[in-house]
Amino acid sequence: MPQTIAYLINQYPKVSHSFIRREIAAVEAHGLQVERFSIRSCSAELIDPADQQELSRTRFVLGVGGIGLLTSLFRVASTRPVRFLQTLGLTLTLSRAAERGLLHHLAYLAEACVLLGWFDQANIAHVHAHFGTNSTTVALLCNALGGPPYSFTVHGPEEFDKVKAISLVQKVARAAFVVAISNFGRSQLYRWCPLTDWSKIHLVHCGVDSEFLASAPAPLAPASEPSLVCVGRLCAEKGQLLLLEAASQLMQQGVAFKLVLVGDGPLRGELEILIKHLALHDRVKITGWASGTQVRQAILAARALVLPSFAEGLPVVIMEALALGRPVISTYVAGIPELIEPEACGWLVPPGSVEDLVIAMQKALQTPVEKLEEMGNIGAERVASCHSATIEASKLAALFRLNIEQLPQDQAVEPLKRVNLRQTTPVSHP
């Protein structure tokens, strides 16, 4: 019988989380059964059919409503009073250093109680969370209540910006193991965690699937006006405001180009105002959210991907672009230099430098097609060797199995006792 793993994410499925969907599919292909759990739904923004299919396979904690949360909290408090009080104390401790205070953490405790019951029903042997923020907090509290062991993947940059506020060190200490997606990410965990916890920190890259790896890089189509594409959430850390400044300078220099921004987010309104202010409306287009197929088409229509991020982990879209044979312009930030070799498969610029970004964009726009295709081939080879979703998932599956097999009997998941919630006082018998 397949061993069952729970994946827990704050929001899943989500437009920007296609890499998690790929990872789950690859883990399942290695013989593990995966149940999907998410704290909340963002179904309104989903446009990719694959994401919509995942939606039907995912259980949402907040879908139980306020009454469901309180009912689960009462059930666990009634059936496991000692563990509940201990976990309540842990909840108070975690809340003291957090940006979000006690009320939010009590909500996390209630969410953990909901999951405790669901995990018991599904015979979950292990829980894996993505991102070391609130989803991992809920996994930690569920484990403290007697639920299954947990692990989590740290992406950055948010986790490293808020190490103390999210109790990252405590989460690592209590975890069965921890995954970093880049050597940079692993180094940051080493920086904050004691040496005794280093052995539980593992490097597992995010990956792309056979859809990207099966075929050779697509040749560049001749275009009358060279095009660049930027794919990502429209937010401050992705550097799109700086990208528009660079585009404006290129226009003033008389360089012919088109720039397509694929994505949406909180910065869209400000970007649209800046496009108008800089008179870039004939050069720059914002598409909004796009399906995986649409993203692929946008990358293939461009000479290069440009992502001038200020803060990152290691963006999956860089892997996708390289796998499709498109060089990448990005920044010397976090794990990005581990994948992009300057002048070999792309260009790297100092984050925040509009001057260097202009130079790199001009090179991508004016480099002969044959050279760009050569760079694309090098990039595709790097992705195939280091970022195959199948290979990386095999590492995860091995970690899951190893930790399940090594779990001591006294740490086995404690079955959740049933309680009649309508009966709050003992019944006396004659």
Walk along the chain (430 residues) in steps of 10 and give the mean pLDDT of each run: 87 92 95 97 87 95 97 97 98 92 96 98 97 97 98 96 96 98 98 97 92 71 78 96 98 96 97 98 95 91 96 95 95 97 97 98 95 94 93 96 78 53 34
Q: Given this model, what pLDDT does residue 430 score?
A: 29
Q: Given this model, what pLDDT does residue 41 score?
A: 94
Retrieve residue 297's tokens.
């088409």
Q: Given this model, what pLDDT does residue 408 score?
A: 64
Q: Given this model, what pLDDT does residue 97 score?
A: 87
In the chain the domains, ranked by start, together with CATH numbers, are: 4-207+388-411 (3.40.50.2000), 210-386 (3.40.50.2000)
Q: Given this model, what pLDDT does residue 126 score?
A: 97
Q: Given this model, what pLDDT does residue 216 score?
A: 60
Q: Given this model, what pLDDT does residue 292 score?
A: 86
Q: How many residues does the chain have?
A: 430
Retrieve residue 282's tokens.
């004939």
Q: Given this model, what pLDDT does residue 220 score?
A: 77
Q: Given this model, what pLDDT does residue 313 score?
A: 93
Number of Cβ within 10 Å of residue 299's Cβ equals 24
